Structure formats: structure tokens, C-alpha cells
Amino acid sequence: MENNKVVAAEEKLENPLIKYKNLIILFFLFVIATLTVLSNNEIFVVSFQKIKAIKFEYVIIIIGMVLFLWLSDGFLLYYPLRHTKINFWDSLMVNFAGSFFSNVTPYSSGSQPARLYYLYKKGITVDKSIGGVIFKAVSYQWVIVILGLISLFTGRKVIFKMDNYRIVLTLGFIYNAGLFIVTLIIANSKKIADLLIHLVKTIGNKQNKEKELSKTKIQIIQGIENFHNNMHQYLVSAKMNFVMFFTYTIRQLVYNSIPIIILYALDFPVKEYLIELISLSALMNIIVTIVPTPGGVVASEGVFLLLFGLIYTSTDTNDLLTVMLMWRFFTHYLLIIVGFLAVIYLTTTNSKKKKRGMINAS
């Protein structure tokens, strides 16, 4: 009887592979078409030759930085949930899977639902999963807004050249700051939690003539209360907020430094523009978020060439294109590949566990 309840609960959760299957197919078709076009383009062939000529030690440094990004991002999901059943390896795989769906859905809309689905499959209750995922998202928004505001000051000499693009930058700040504030209010507001509970009770009273709510309604109310309590504990914990903020800050600084390492490896003048380059890297995170393309495809590439072109005004565009291609491969497309492998891993391991459970039950 208990196994039937578990199966019924799992059936209510939609597998992101099924939910976003059309988007995934379209994305891979787009990638194949793009690679086909690029492979026949002389500019990209030349860029690829330049990338192959980079010294091996710089490639090792970049790979090390990418590995740090992956591990730290996995830790940022694991840390709020460390007292649950999940271990670091599972949180790393779940985070990879979430990153994959983030990169194939508009506005990264599939990222959090995918993480919640796979966390649930790992035995984490929905209220705790939502709390951990939202707290991670709040911490990220907080860090990129703070770094973005600092970058407005440190990179002001270059930013003043963005006459035609200041509106885009402004919209980016409004969007990210607004998203942070709204998420924080929803996560921490007792009034909103009470309102949701009231709505559930009202629906329950209309649908049931009995005075007592159904078991399902009671579970929903309990879930809302648990989620609010979990989020409140996260937000009032100075240690937890410090660890998340500090880790995210270091992670973003490493992420923002990758294009600078690539520029240096390709013999671009870097030292005299170091502060401005770091500032522009941080501002890219703000601007790209308002573009609805999956994973910021096209938008990220265009913004990269635009912003770094403000510094290297006399540089051949093809040289910047080489930097951009290498940057996107290590920070975006490589993560999509690893994320897709993580999705396959999570799907197959969950299937094996489910089969073993059915055999044991029989």
C-alpha cells in the first residue's frame, strides 16, 4: 500500500526530459546546424587554428578554473541541503542536470523545476528541495547584482562609451534586482505563506462538505509551513548566508576571469585593462539575463564582442571572435555536454532503483 502511494506521488511530478523534449530536440538541431555552417566558414576555421596554437599550460589553467566552477556550484546546492539524505555527488549531478535544462530553455525557466524533480527522486522532500533551490537562487541574484554595481564604478571609463546600450544595462539591473527582491519577499514573508494556506483552506472548504480537510490539503498546508520555516532558518543564519555569499562571490570572480586568461593566452594586452576587463565580465552577467534565448545563445556571443570591443577597438574582430569561441566552449557548451550526461546518469540510476523497489515489494 505504501509503495502505491510513492508511485502515485512520483507520477504527479513531470520528468523534465518529457516536459522539455521539444525544446531539447530544437536545441540540438540548432547546434548541429550551427556547427555545420561554422565548419565551412573560413573565419571560424582560422579561429580554430589560433585556439589550437595556445600553450598547453593555459589550457590546464582554464580547465582547472572550469572544474572549480562546477564543484563550487554543486557545493552551493549541497550546502543548504546537507542535513538531508543527499550527498555531495548527488547534488553535483542534480546541479549539472539543472544547468543543462537552464541552457536549453528560455530565461533558464527549466533550471529550477529540473533540480526539484531530481532532488525529489533522491528522496528529498519537496518543501526542503524548494527551500534549498530558492536560497541558492537568491544568493546568486544577490552576488551578481552587488558585483554589477561595483563594476559600474570600476569600469566607468569604458561604460561611458556604451551610449546606445545603457538602456539594456539599466533593464538588466532592474530585472535582476527585481527578481532578487521578489524572490526574497516570497521566501521570507509570513503573510504570503498565510495567504497561500488560506487559499488552500478555502479551496478545500468549497470542494469538501466535511469540516475536516482532506489528507492532501493538510499535506499541502504542512508543506507550505515547512518551506517557510526552512527559508526563515536559512535567511536568519549568519553563517549560512556568509558561506553562500562568499562561495558565490569567489565563484563569480573565477568565472569572470576566464575570458581574461584566454585574452592573455592569445597575446592580447591585459595588464593595463585588468580592472575594466573584470568589470565588463561582471556586467555581461547582468545584460544577458534579460534576453530570452536558451542559455543566452547568440546574446552572450554578441554582448561579449560588443563589450570587449569597447577596449580592443583597434583589434581585428576575428581575434576577438577566437576569444569568444573559446570562452563559450569552456563556460557554456562543455557544461551542456556534461549536464546531458548527468541527466542520463540520474535517469538510469532512478530507473534501476525503481526496478529494485518493485522486485523487493513483490
3-class DSSP string for 283-314: HHHHHHCCCCCHHHCCHHHHHHHHHHHCCCCC
pLDDT over 90 (residue 348): no
Say how many domains are in the chain: 1
Highest-confidence range of 82-86, 201-205, 219-223, 347-351, by mean pLDDT? 82-86
pLDDT at 221: 52
Q: Are 319 and 305 in contact (CB under 8 A)?
A: no
- Stretch among 18-32, 215-229, 239-253, 260-274 having the lowest mean pLDDT: 215-229
What confidence category does residue 222 fall into, taking pLDDT thresholds of 50, 70 and 90? low
What confidence category does residue 342 fall into, taking pLDDT thresholds of 50, 70 and 90? very high
Task: State how far the Cα of 171 lies from the Cα of 287, in Å rounded to an integer.
Answer: 8
pLDDT over 80 (residue 332): yes
- Stretch among 52-61, 64-73, 99-108 having the lowest mean pLDDT: 99-108
pLDDT over 80 (residue 182): no
Burial (0-12, 13-18, 19+ Cβ within 10 Å), 2: exposed
pLDDT at 66: 96
pLDDT at 174: 87
Of residues 252 and 302, the one with the higher pLDDT is 252
Q: Are 69 and 252 in contact (CB under 8 A)?
A: no
DSSP letter for 332, please: I
Q: Are 264 and 270 in contact (CB under 8 A)?
A: yes
Task: State how far the Cα of 317 lies from the Cα of 305, in Å rounded to an integer.
Answer: 8
pLDDT at 97: 92
H, E, C per residue of 229-258:
HHHHHHHHCHHHHHHHHHHHHHHHHHHHHH
pLDDT at 249: 95
Read off the pLDDT of each residue in 279-298 and give the average, rounded to a whole number. 79
pLDDT over 60 (residue 212): no
Burial (0-12, 13-18, 19+ Cβ within 10 Å), 322: buried
Of residues 56 and 165, the one with the higher pLDDT is 56
Tell whether pTM > 0.85. no
What confidence category does residue 225 fall into, taking pLDDT thresholds of 50, 70 and 90? low
pLDDT at 5: 41
Of residues 198 and 140, the one with the higher pLDDT is 140
pLDDT at 156: 80
What confidence category does residue 40 fall into, taking pLDDT thresholds of 50, 70 and 90? low
Task: State how far the Cα of 42 lies from the Cα of 146, in Å rounded to an integer.
Answer: 41
What CA dihedral angle connects 52, 334, 293 and 174, to 10 degrees? -100
Q: What is the pLDDT of residues 2-23, one digit of tens each?
A: 444 444 444 455 677 777 777 7
Q: In percent, how much of the chain has pLDDT > 90?
A: 21
**Residue 240 to residues 136, 138, 139, 243: CA-CA distances in angstroms?**
11, 13, 10, 5
Average pLDDT score over the chain: 77
Which residue range forms the structural domain that includes residue 95? Answer: 2-361
pLDDT over 80 (residue 336): yes
pLDDT over 50 (residue 211): no
Task: State how far the Cα of 72 lies from the Cα of 106, in Å rounded to an integer.
Answer: 24
Of residues 204 and 257, the one with the higher pLDDT is 257
